[in-house]
Structure 1
Amino acid sequence: MSNKQQQILLAAESIIAQQGYHKLSMQKLAKQAGIAAGTIYRYFADKEALTQALREHKMRQAASQVLAGSESGTLQERCHRVWMNIAQFELERDPDRLSYDQINQLPGSNNQESVQAAREIYQPLIEMFNHGVATQQFKPLDTEILGCVFLEPAIGLARRRRQGIEFNQEQLQQAYELCWQSITK
């Protein structure tokens, strides 16, 4: 990604985070990015293409945080790191940056292109779940179901933590262990 593309995406993200998607115009974006409006169209065909690129960019950033440390160790150690990374996700949020929840509310978030991009970005998680099933450590369930049963509680806890509800490490560990037990044989 070029510096100019990055500059445009950061400006778009800031506008959407502060004012909402409906306030994003190419004129406002050009002014915020400090470029000519025509420059935007060199990189993005229209607002939808820009939104798709921003969504994928933010998903890649989130995936790097969620997957940090999950490359090595036992399957349980890797799953523990991912689960705890999710439970810690976005605790210190910048108001100029979109939250993961906001990203998922952008127009087109549920279209086939976005779903496919998310699968590619989170492929290491899918592979981790497939490995668990193949080695008979996990219950023989579809990876989508395993992901929902195992990870959605961590996402919910992270959301509540961002709302100011406190959980100590012992409580988070207990919640993780319940999730782990729910998918393991």
Structure 2
Amino acid sequence: MATTESSPDLSPKAQTILDAAESLFVRYGYRKSSMDDVAREAGIAKGTVYLYYAGKEALFRALLERTGANVLRASTTAAHAPLPFEDRLFGVLNAFYGYFYERFSDSGHLQELGEIRGSLGQDLTEQLRQNHLQILIDLLARADAAGEVGLGQRGLTPHDVAATLIAAASGAKVMLLPGAGLKAYADALKRTSHVFAAALSPNA
């Protein structure tokens, strides 16, 4: 089970409830997990759970919101780290794709969770994707201005490269062998970062 991350905007009890819900959804799926199950998993009275979340739909959306906040916080930190461009790029990609792979790749309910995310949290999911795309765009623009990459000399824009990076990072997961672990995916993201950094180098 992946290590959970706390959000500074949530109380410890709310965090505990969300941790319990995430664990249940990964193990048993959304439809087979009830609010009673969440309360038992969290070790909290069901009435207390309802004080924080009006129902399972609200709980699922709260999980998406927490996930998005954690991913964007980690992505922003990685983008501004005092590291070479290639390492910053890997950090931003891994903060997004590695986060989800670590938590959900072993679940037998990925299709169901994806469907529920689409029906209950499409707006949150799209906002997260757009925000992560913008972090990549800003990283590339700063690197170009600092001379770490040469986008203009190739007729490329930060948006074009960021969109291609996202496609490459998503494709790296598809190319993994069944049962490949988190390290294998992280290595694939590192190779992706290395190839892009080398190809975009001003001296390439």
Alignment TM class, shorter chain as reference? 0.5 to 0.7
What does residue 79 of structure 1 align with? 89
Does 2:168 align with 1:153? Answer: yes
- What is the root-mean-square deviation of aligned Cα atoms in Å? 4.2
Separation of aligned partners in 2, 1:119 and 1:35: 36
Determine which of 100, 122, 125 is the counterpart of 1:111. Answer: 122
C-alpha contact (below 8 Å) 1:13/1:54 kept by paired residues: yes
What does residue 179 of structure 2 align with? 163
Identity of aligned residues (%): 25
Pairing 1:1-185 to 2, within 5 Å after superposition: 1-63=10-72, 69-71=78-80, 72-73=82-83, 75-83=85-93, 85=94, 89=98, 93=102, 97-99=103-105, 102=110, 105=114, 107-109=116-118, 111-120=122-131, 124-131=135-142, 137-138=150-151, 139-140=156-157, 143=159, 145-158=160-173, 160=176, 163-164=179-180, 175-180=192-197
| Residue range with higher mean Cα deviation, 98-107 or 48-57 | 98-107
Instruction: For residues 105-149 of structure 1, give each alpha carbon's deviation from its aligned partner in whole angstroms, at most 9, with x where no partner exists.
Output: 1623462233224544675334224445777843126x3x43331
Separation of aligned partners in 2, 1:183 and 1:149: 13
Separation of aligned partners in 2, 1:12 and 1:91: 16
| Residue range with higher mean Cα deviation, 27-36 or 68-77 | 68-77
What amino acid maps onto 1:79 in structure 2? Answer: L
Structure 2 residue runs of 5 or longer lacking an equivalent are 1-9
TM-superposed CA distance for 1:62, in Å, is 4.0
What amino acid maps onto 1:153 in structure 2? Answer: A
TM-superposed CA distance for 1:12, in Å, is 0.4
What amino acid maps onto 1:39 in structure 2? Answer: T
Q: 1:182 to 1:23 in 2, by over 3 A?
A: farther
SS in 2 for 1:108: helix
TM-superposed CA distance for 1:9, in Å, is 0.5
Aligned residues: 178
TM-superposed CA distance for 1:172, in Å, is 6.7
What amino acid maps onto 1:164 in structure 2? Answer: A
Separation of aligned partners in 2, 1:149 and 1:6: 35
Q: 1:113 to 1:66 in 2, by over 3 A?
A: closer
Separation of aligned partners in 2, 1:78 and 1:121: 14
Q: 1:55 to 1:106 in 2, by over 3 A?
A: farther
| Residue range with higher mean Cα deviation, 64-73 or 44-53 | 64-73
Separation of aligned partners in 2, 1:167 and 1:115: 23
Q: 1:111 to 1:168 in 2, by over 3 A?
A: closer
Instruction: For residues 2-22 of structure 1, give each alpha carbon's deviation from its aligned partner in whole angstroms, at most 9, with x where no partner exists.
Output: 111011001101111111111
The alignment's TM-score, normalised by the length of structure 2, stands at 0.62
